[in-house]
A and B are shown apart, each in its own frame.
Chain A
Amino acid sequence: MGEYMYFVCFLLVFGVRVNAEIERPRGVSISMASKYEPNNKQTFQCLDGSAQIPYEHLNDDYCDCADGSDEPGTSACTNGRFHCTNAGYTPKNIQSSRVNDGVCDCCDGSDEYEGKIECVNNCKELGKKLREEQDEKRRLHEEGFKKREGFIAEASTLMEGKKLKIKELETEKAEIQEKLKELEARKTEAEGPEKEAKDKHEQAWKEQKDAREKERQAGKAREAFDDLDLNKDGFVDVFEIIPHLEFDIDSNGIVSEEEAKEHLEDHEKVDYEEFSSKIWGNIHSIYKKLVPDEPQQVTPPPVEPQGDTGVPVPTEEPQEESAEEDKMPEYDEETKALIAAADEARKNYEEADKRSRDIDGEITTLTSYLNTDYGKDQAYAVLRDNCYEYTDREYTYKLCPFSTASQRPKSGGHETNLGRWGRWENDKTQVYDHGQNCWNGPDRSVKIHITCGPDHQLTNAYEPSRCEYAFDFITPCACDQHSQPQVKEIRDEL
């Protein structure tokens, strides 16, 4: 007990530094050392309280405690931990299974004390390197952080500008809306008389055309009648129908009397009057003029359209009427004037309407810009509308932040869309997805791993899984902590 008091005094005097020099079992950290002091019963209490074991069973290469706490310095417990002090570098807790396995896991070599391997203590070198790296990292971070401040301000200005622009556009749109109403009324006003005049003109033309057509049909009927009336007796009779194979109703190759009669509406013969009024209307579409000497048995098959242009080869008889006759005469001057007036009203309206829709588009774009999540403090907004490239052996990869990710072969060829802006997976990872579909696989997608760096730069691109890409991107935008990155304490030599 006296010893204990003395020890306490000692502690009070010399503080923590002295505590570190206490003999402690192998593999125990200083902070845990007190738990491993022998008690007066010379037992050790497993740290989880599950058992009490003789003190000599501590680190005797046999696992007694369920939590592995009795073997901090051997490989006996599957769930144990070995503490390397790693003086000069950072301390480390390793799995007990890495103690004396022939692999140097601690830079001080303390995990390999059985001599399976000679471990060189390189903690000092590592510590020096780490400090240098951390200094560099800190420097870069601070530099980046300053840039980031600038970007935030820039982004904010940008945003304000965009917001202002939206306001302007909204004002303009309201004005145009007003104007549109007026223009639409004017348009309606002008279109009424225009339509009336046009309809009138067209109706007159139609009547004229119909009359002309009727006349033409009559001419055709006469021609056919004369043609059919072989004996020129002024009648077309059954026997004059028979030579015309087109009247073969049952397609048996001959025109029977019954068939002929059927076409003559059950008459033995008809005169021109009857022919033109009753018969011609029914047969004019099938009637064919007899070709002498070469009686046509079978009509040749229609010519198939050829090539893959898909343009059908016309099979109809050429139109007899001249194009001239079919063309509607020009509108009269009065109508023309009405049309011109209406055109003017329409044009005015459409222009205004287009502007209105353009404004909608612009607002949508701006709103979407503003609604995008640019990360903490909107710092990443400055990356938008920029693209960054990285080229490896085969491909050039391109990242246009908040827009798209793509790749194109260095040797030339098509660009492949690897994904469109999707979301932040966390504050340092972006996802671009729904890219071009992979043959036999998923749509392409990219994960962007973002770290703090001095400039915006795409530093690596790879494909960890087929069609699932990953980019490494550094940017000052990610230097978001004012203090330097969390650095583990480097333990100085005691």
Chain B
Amino acid sequence: MGRFLLVLRKMAATTIRLSSYLCCLWLIVQVHSVNRDNFKTCEQSGFCKRHRSLQPGQSPYKVLMDSLKISSSQISVQLLNTKTNVRLVLDLYGLQGNTARLKINELEPLKPRYEIPMGDVLVGEPKQQDLKVLDKGSESLTLGLEDNKIVLTFSPFRVDFVAGEEPVVSINAQGLLKFEHFRKKPEAPAEDAAPGEPAEGEEKKEEENKEEEKKPEQEEEPMLWEETFKSFHDPKPNGPSSVGIDVSFPGFENVYGIPEHADSMALKTTKDTDPYRLFNLDVFEYELYNPMALYGSVPVMWAHNEKSTVGIYWNNAAETWIDISSTTADKNFFSKIADLVKGNSEMAQMDTHWFSESGVIDIFIMLGPRPKDVFKQYAALTGSTELPPLFAISYHQCRWNYNDQDDVKNVDANMDMYDIPYDVIWLDIEHTDGKRYFTWDAHKFPSSKDMLNGVAVKGRKMVTIVDPHLKRDDNYKVYADAKSRDMMVKGGGGEEYEGWCWPGSSSWPDFTNPEVRNWWASKFQYSEYDGSTPDLYIWNDMNEPSVFNGPEITFHKDVQHYGGVENRDVHNLYGFYVQKATAEGILMRSNNEQRPFVLTRAFFAGSQRFGAVWTGDNMGEWSHLKVSNPMLLTLNLAGITFSGADVGGFFRNPDSELQTRWYQTGAFQPFFRAHAHIDTKRREPYLLPEENMKIVREAIRKRYSYLPFWYTLFYHGYRSGETVMSPLWVTYPEDKSTFQMDDEYLLGSSLLVKPITEQGAVGTNVYFPGSNEVWYDIETYQSYAGSQSTYINAPLEKIPVFQRGGSIVPRKMRVRRSSSLMVSDPFTLVICLDKQGEALGDLYADDYKSYAYRRGEYIHRVFSFKNNILQSSNADPNGRGASREWVEKLVIVGYPKAATSVHITVDGNSQSLHHSYDSSSRVLTVRKPDVNITKDFSITIQ
């Protein structure tokens, strides 16, 4: 968004002459100098205010047991609002994998309420699991779901989930369920505040009782039928439509998730702040440590304690706010539904309150019980991160902008001259012909294919930016085509919606429409996207969407989408669909052979299936380096594992120390891309002072040497939904001291990373988890005991990274100019022994780029070291891939003594190997086993 100001300046200076336009620009510029004011507080949002003002207490809702319908895996029952007599319907489903789904909708809505189409966010209809009726009493119904109980209490309505004997999730326990049913707009709001017709056949008594209360309640409710924020009016043609309910986590003190916020990993109580907000927005120079909305939204939350991990996914794409508070559990109630409550000690509880502006209540309750279980459960719903092509997890060199083909060529040549590996060079908006995406500036990029082929010779790729706003220029093919097909989103009056973005006056294709997505995808065909080649990949920016002159810099809420849906209903999904359509385009252009790569700024639950996410326009300041770790941990917890922050920071000019530390950090984060604003000084790594350049080069090379490990991690993530960059508690769930730790993290369970994020720091305290563990410095192989903290010296050249004793990490030490030049290079296995002298690890490999692995063309090896024998065996009989890769070296760390002999046995043939021992670091090196990686082999040490 910061780019925005500059472009205005350029536009004003060069092309724009109309004074009215200048006036308009001036207004926007004014607005942007005070960024917080651009965005709504809860107080300025009608439905937020209405829901937040609810007080915990008796819920007006009760379950109408007469209406109960039970099928094998689902119950359906009506809920009555005893104040308004409006009826809702509750559906409760048992799902496979310790998961339940709870849906609440109006029984008879005036028109259907919006629900996200099946297959878009949810990968498909979730597989159901039988529910058993355990007990049906006059006050409650108890259901069994695998080893869990679900207790539905009738009056007031609440649902409790009990895992084993522990209550873990309670819904509507505080009675905050509020469901704004569709209603007819009252003629004169002051006179007739009655909401709709009372349902038939209700007890008169109740109706009368509540009659008096109705009116004052209605009158208090602000901004039901229209609201205004700054100069923007929201006519709300459908009136109030919000939904909200409370979700409590008894027994938990920490909750996580709900990105994207620039905040700590462990979520904070929102008593003294606004609620956490989920509303995809382009926020200029965002502030740190507050609950303001950012570019993306994933309404998933985890609660974790020593005993279990549970969570919910709130399946709603409208603007959503979440209040969080910590309290103590109501033991009286829980003693009735679970045989717990030993002793008198208080039980902690996290209360959360969720409310969305429209749609329905659709909650998935994932009952764990282990961290890795909930990730799998969530992945079963919204999918896992697709296995990225290898280049995508390598180093990316980006800047707004590489000016022209010569610039690209020079950067490429300089990276080689300084021997700094990189895989992808990126082009920002200036590469286009007047911000018309899918085009090239004919003067700066006259022969883009030559340029692409030039970098591709060295195995490199390029990425161009393609944003969703289309310049309203009838001579612009893409716009004219979309316009003639009537594919744009519409304004409230049904006209083609128009707003300002990079190209000036713009319109936006309606990506919520599957036909539009197909049309968009077809634009990436080589025949359509002139000057593109198979080495060109895509970056979607501004897809919140960013509308410079729109309310909160985005669409008006009453913008109309496909199927009579308002942006109000689908706002948080727009960017998701843009990336989905783009990824489909990249996939299609290769006839579904090659894996796509698309980076997006806006995202939603499920975006992990379409590519990578970055944390938007951060700043080149130490605080932003520091916050990148909790932000990426939270994204990982929410399934967006392929994520990163702009290395160096987008805005400002970071000094060489900050750049150095940022590269060191980025080298150990999942998505590793340097990026910079057009106003900043050039900062390609070779421009750093020599000392820093060498350190940065070393950090990037380290990334390349660990690529086999990263690739294997991503494979696991793809298969099981696991995090790539993980909080320590994912691997050490019982270690309370790690629950709020977000400056230190694990990659898989093998590498412990504590990046230096403080200016001038020459060391840091590292916490080594696991009481029985031993950790080894990856450089010196010095060992550290688990379950304690040690001060580690970290002068500028040092990245504190440690390998867990008991793990085997595959590396490639022959770092070349790009990852694809390394695909047939040999592996070095770094075997760090645990206290028993054992270790375990694995390696996944394939062709690193295509979908051939889905036809079994991959290898998955498991390495185990035990009783002085390293065994390599096939981890997956489905993997039948071939490979030229081989094993060149074993580094056995923590080995007690020199060996007398080392033998390798392959196919029954035994051969002795050279070896050496360094007694000071206790490292035994085995020379050149020279065995193809696909082979079973064993290496015996005597």
Which residues of A are at the interface with B, using a C-beta cutoff of 8 A? 60-62, 64, 75-76, 78, 95, 97-98, 101-103, 116, 393, 409, 439-441, 462-466, 468
Question: What chain A residues lie within 8 Å of B419 (beta carbons)?
Answer: 95, 97
- Min CB–CB distance B688 → chain A (angstroms): 14
Chain B residues numbered 878-918 whose CB sits less than 8 Å from any CB in chain A = 888-889
B219 to chain A, nearest CB (A): 48
Verify A103–B817 contact, CB threshold 8 A. Answer: yes
Name the distance in Å between B505's Cβ and chain A's nearest Cβ: 23
CB-based contact B9/A78 at 8 Å: no
Residues of B within 8 A of A468 (CB): 681-682
Q: Are A465 and B814 in contact (CB under 8 A)?
A: no
- Flag if A62 contacts B888 (CB, 8 Å): yes
- A95-B419, A103-B817 in contact; A440/B888 too (CB < 8 A)? no
Q: Is the CB of B681 within 8 A of A76?
A: no
Q: Known interface pairs A102-B821, A440-B6. Does A97 touch B681 (Cβ–Cβ under 8 Å)?
A: no
Q: Which residues of chain B are within 8 angstroms of A466 by Cβ–Cβ distance?
A: 678-681
Question: Is B855 part of the contact surface with A, judged by Cβ < 8 Å?
Answer: no
Nearest-Cβ distance from residue A49 to partner chain B, whole angstroms: 17
Contacts of B14 in A (CB 8 A): 409
In whole Å, how far is A83's beta carbon from the nearest beta carbon of chain B?
17
- Given known contacts A102-B821, A393-B443, A440-B6, is B682 in contact with A97 (CB within 8 Å)? no
Main DSSP-derived SS at the B contact region: loop
Decide if B681 touches A75 in the complex (CB within 8 Å): no
Bound Cα distance from A116 to B824, whole angstroms: 10
Closest chain A CB from B655 CB (angstroms) = 15
- Interface assignment of B813: CB less than 8 Å from any CB of chain A: yes
The reply to whether A102 and B815 contact each other, CB–CB distance below 8 Å, is no
Does B457 interact with chain A (Cβ within 8 Å)? yes
Can you list, as one digit per residue, whether each of B818-840 has a CB less than 8 Å from chain A (1) or not (0)?
00011011000000000000000
Measured in the bound complex, the distance between the Cα atoms of B822 and A402 in whole Å is: 51
State how many angstroms separate the Cβ of A63 from the closest Cβ of chain B.
8
A475 to B14, CA, bound (A): 34
Residues of chain A within 8 A (CB-CB) of B927 are: 62, 64
Q: Which of B6, B679, B822, B889 has the most CB of A within 10 A?
A: B679
Q: Is the CB of A78 within 8 A of B815?
A: yes
Task: Flag whether B928 is at the interface (Cβ < 8 A).
Answer: yes
B149 beta carbon closer than 8 Å to chain A? no
CB distance A101 to B889 under 8 Å?
no
- In the complex with contacts A75-B825, A465-B681, A468-B681, A97-B817 CB distance below 8 A: yes
- Determine if B5 is an interface residue (Cβ-Cβ < 8 Å): yes
Complex formed: what's the CA distance from A95 to B816 in Å?
A: 9
Complex Cα distance A78/B815, Å?
7
**Bound CA–CA A464/B680 (angstroms):** 11
Enumerate chain A residues within 8 angstroms of B5, measured Cβ to Cβ. Answer: 440
**B457: which A residues are within 8 A, CB to CB?**
103
- B919-936: which residues lie under 8 A (CB-CB) from chain A? 927-928
Decide: A98 near B817, CB < 8 A? Known: A465-B682, A466-B678: yes
Measured between beta carbons, the chain A residues less than 8 angstroms from B403 are 462-463
Compute how far the CA of A60 lies from the CA of B927 in the bound complex, rounded to whole angstroms.
11
In the complex, what residues of B have CB within 8 A of residue A101's CB?
Answer: 816-817, 821-822
B814 touches A75 (CB 8 A): yes
Pair B816/A76 contact, Cβ less than 8 Å: no
Instruction: Verify A62–B6 contact, CB threshold 8 A.
Output: no
Q: How far is the CB of B1 from chain A (nearest CB, A)?
A: 14
* Cβ A97 vs Cβ B888 within 8 A: no
Closest Cβ of chain A: how far from B695's Cβ, in Å? Answer: 16
Chain B neighbourhood of A409, CB < 8 A: 14
Asked if residues A439 and B9 are in contact (CB atoms below 8 Å), the reply is: yes
Measured between beta carbons, the chain B residues less than 8 angstroms from A97 are 419, 814-817
- Is B459 a contact of A102 with CB atoms below 8 Å? yes
Report A-chain residues with C-beta under 8 Å of the C-beta of B813. Answer: 78
Residue of B nearest to A117 (CB): B457
5 interchain pairs, CB-CB under 8 A: A61-B888, A64-B927, A102-B821, A103-B817, A439-B9
Pair B814/A98 contact, Cβ less than 8 Å: no
B458 on interface, CB distance cutoff 8 Å: yes
Q: Which residues of chain B from 669 to 699 have any CB-CB distance to chain A below 8 Å in the complex?
A: 678-682
**Inter-chain contacts of A64 with B (CB < 8 A):** 927
CB within 8 A of A441: which of B459, B679, B815? B679
Interface string of B1-24 (1 = CB under 8 A from A): 000011001000010000000000
Query: A49 vs B328: C-alpha distance in the bound complex, in angstroms?
Result: 70
- Bound Cα distance A60, B821 (Å): 20
Query: In the complex, what residues of A have CB within 8 A of residue B825's CB?
Result: 75
CA distance in complex: A75, B814 (Å): 7
The reply to whether A78 and B814 form a contact with Cβ atoms under 8 Å apart is yes
Which residues from 42 to 74 on chain B have a C-beta closer than 8 Å to any C-beta of chain A? none
Cα-based distance from A59 to B729 in the complex (angstroms): 47
Using CB atoms, name the residue of chain A closest to B888.
Answer: A62
A76 contacts B682, C-beta separation under 8 Å:
no
Kindly state the separation between the CA atoms of A463 and B10 in the bound complex, as whole angstroms.
15
Tell whether A76 pairs with B814 under 8 Å between CB atoms, given A102-B459, A103-B821.
Answer: yes
Distance A201 CA – B321 CA, assembled complex (angstroms): 90
**Of all chain B residues, which has the CB nearest A60?**
B928
Considering the complex, give the chain B residue whose CB is closest to the CB of A62.
Answer: B928
Chain B 426-470, CB-CB to A under 8 Å as 1, else 0, gives 000000000000000001000000000000011100000000000
10 nearest A-B pairs in the assembled complex, by CB-CB distance: A101-B821, A465-B682, A62-B928, A97-B816, A465-B681, A101-B816, A466-B679, A75-B814, A393-B443, A103-B458
Residues of B within 8 A of A61 (CB): 888, 928
Q: How far is the CB of B886 from chain A (nearest CB, A)?
A: 9
Q: Which residue of A lies closest to B813 (CB)?
A: A78
Beta-carbon nearest neighbor of B2 in chain A: A440
* 7 further A-B pairs in the complex, CB-CB below 8 A; given A62-B927, A62-B928: A76-B888, A78-B813, A98-B817, A103-B821, A465-B680, A465-B682, A468-B681
Q: How far is the CB of B641 from chain A (nearest CB, A)?
A: 30
User: Residues of A contacting B817 with CB < 8 Å?
Assistant: 97-98, 101, 103
| B residues less than 8 Å from A440 (CB atoms) | 5-6, 679
Q: How far apart are the CA atoms of A216 and B822 in the complex, in Å?
A: 108
Kindly list chain A residues whose C-beta atoms are within 8 Å of the C-beta of B822: 101
Contacts of A95 in B (CB 8 A): 419
A64–B889 alpha-carbon span in the complex (Å): 11
Task: A64 to B458: give the CA distance in the assembly, Å.
Answer: 28
Q: How many Å lie between the Cα of A76 and that of B825 in the bound state?
A: 9
How distant is B418 from chain A, measured CB to nearest CB, in Å? 11
* Min distance, Cβ A57 to any Cβ of chain B, angstroms: 8
Q: How far is the CA of A464 from the CA of B407 in the complex (A)?
A: 8
> Which residues of chain A have C-beta atoms less than 8 A from B9's C-beta?
439
Interface set, chain B 387-417, CB cutoff 8 A to A: 403
With CB as the reference atom, state the residue of chain B lying closest to A438.
B679
A409 to B13, CA, bound (A): 11
CA distance A78 to B698 in the complex (A): 12
A463 to B888, CA, bound (A): 47
Closest Cβ of chain B: how far from A80's Cβ, in Å? 10
A462 → chain B closest CB, angstroms? 8
A52 to chain B, nearest CB (A): 13
A463 to B402, CA, bound (A): 11
Of B680, B816, B824, B889, which one neighbours A62 at CB under 8 angstroms? B889
Given the interface pairs A76-B888, A78-B814, the reply to whether A464 lies near B821 with Cβ below 8 Å is no
Kindly state the separation between the CA atoms of A61 and B930 in the bound complex, as whole angstroms: 10
The residue in A98, A101, A464, A468 that gathers the most chain B C-beta atoms within 10 A of its C-beta is A101
- Residue of A60, A62, A95, A97 most packed against chain B (CB within 10 A): A97
Within 8 A of A (CB), among B787-829: 813-817, 821-822, 824-825
Contacts of A441 in B (CB 8 A): 679
- Chain A, residue nearest B458 (CB): A103
A465 to B6, CA, bound (A): 14
Q: Closest residue of chain A to B410, judged by CB?
A: A464
